[in-house]
Amino acid sequence: MDLRCTTKGRRALSTVAITTALLFAVAGCGGGGDDKSDKGPSSSTPSAGSSSTGGKASKTPDTSEVLAEVKGENGITLSISSAKRDEGGFVTVEGTVTNGTDGALAMGNWRGDERELAKNGGSMAGASLVDQKGKKKYLVLRDTSGRCLCTQFTGGVGAGASTQWFAQFPAPPEGTTKLDFQVGSMPPASIELSEGE
């Protein structure tokens, strides 16, 4: 009888411990469901315009305001519509890339030269923010498996097509607001950071 009671007690205690751990995990993932403001992507949101292997979500950027636009090789146009400093200690940059060529682009040269970044395929993994005044360069954030916290262009960008993109970087010091965004062989785009809501 003692053995049966002890086993039941251990099961009940295990069930309570597991339930408590799950409740804490769910509470930690919650974003306060009553907040209806558009805060842009967070580092824990699933991808909406990127592959399911490491990309992060990007709510539709507000394309009515363009912070910067640069034109590169073969008729590629890169527009930046948002550059926000978020509370988590990172900066999220969003925009649109337009393929003005007659063929699809794989965007492989935008992933960067590092061996670790090869896993990202055609992506914004090679993008950087440069603080000219502070003489610092900020690279795209990555997860523990080397996947960038950025858009991955699965299937490339079709001829004449536009697609939205985003990339997340470590935040520069509080006083820094003017940065240059650079990716691939595109010219640098000067942007000004805004504070996240």
Q: How confident is the model over 37-59, as pLDDT tens digits?
A: 444 444 433 333 333 334 344 44
pLDDT, one tens digit per residue, over 59-102 is 444 556 899 999 987 789 999 999 999 988 999 999 999 999 88
**pLDDT score, position 4:** 53
How many Cβ atoms sit within 10 Å of the Cβ of residue 24? 10
32 token code pair? 């306060």
Q: Is the pLDDT of residue 105 over 60?
A: yes
Q: What is the mean pLDDT of the chain?
A: 75
